[in-house]
Amino acid sequence: MQSASNSPKKSFSAHSKGTPRPLTLQDHYLCPVCRHGTLSELALMDAFACDFCRHIFTANLEQQTVQMADGMQPMAWLWDGRNWRSLLSQDQSVTVFIWLLGALVAIAPTLLVWLSIYTFPPLPGSKWAWFPSVWAGCTLIVHLLLFGWLVAEHYQFPLYVRVKLWLRRLLREQE
């Protein structure tokens, strides 16, 4: 893989304010996934690779698009001459099955905890009478966070990828 560190880095801000430029394999672009790394050409291929997040993108120069080749979901971006635009519409919803599964993952354990509270209620006026309700609420919150993490990991939202790579880099620097 040809790294952008081997070639001079382009100033992306200068291009974004200047005239539009077409998508070519010889140029360098800001990565549409992590928005931190540089896309540069892979030798002998119609593809780009990011030097930061290491994603590989196939290029369609006629349509001025790139598509992530190493992801589970088909993610594609259009180069408008200055910036990347996602080809997936912003109002595209996550499938009904994923949402039903997420609801089940979040609600089923909470219902089990609530059922145990309902079946064996705490003694009225006891010092720890508040604890079962807090436990049920914490169960719901933790399982909702678990579902949110799974959706973000599956769909690789750009903000999520950026934060994940930033944390990985931070932990690597502390070693």
Quote the domain boundaries for residue 133. Answer: 96-166
Angle at CA 98, nearest 5°, toward 137 and 141?
A: 15
Q: Are residues 58 and 101 part of one domain? A: no
With respect to residue 174, please indicate whether it lies within any of the assigned structural domains.
no
Q: Are residues 138 and 117 part of one domain? A: yes
Q: Are residues 116 and 77 part of one domain? A: no
Q: What is the pLDDT of residues 9-62, one digit of tens each?
A: 444 433 445 678 888 888 899 888 887 788 988 888 888 998 888 888 988 888
**pLDDT computed for residue 138 by the predictor:** 96
Q: How far is CA 149 from the centre of its chain?
A: 10
Q: Is 60 exceeded by the pLDDT of residue 90?
A: no
Please report the sign of the dihedral spanned by the C-alpha atoms of residue 94, residue 164, residue 41, residue 85.
positive
Contact of 45 with 52, CB cutoff 8 Å: no
With respect to residue 172, please indicate whether it lies within any of the assigned structural domains.
no
Phi, psi of 110 (to 5 degrees): -65, -40
Using CA atoms, how far apart are residues 63 and 66, in angstroms rounded to an integer?
A: 9
Total count of domains within the chain: 2
With respect to residue 171, please indicate whether it lies within any of the assigned structural domains.
no
With respect to residue 13, please indicate whether it lies within any of the assigned structural domains.
yes
Q: Are residues 117 and 153 part of one domain? A: yes
Contacts of residue 41, Cβ cutoff 8 Å, sequence gap at least 6: 2, 25, 26, 47, 48
With respect to residue 175, please indicate whether it lies within any of the assigned structural domains.
no
130 confidence band (pLDDT: 50, 70, 90): very high
Q: Are residues 79 and 22 part of one domain? A: yes
Q: Quick one: tokens of 72?
A: 């589970």
Decide which of 65, 86, 107 is a domain's last residue.
86
Decide which of 49, 67, 86 is a domain's last residue.
86
Please report the sign of the dihedral spanned by the C-alpha atoms of residue 10, residue 12, residue 14, residue 20.
positive
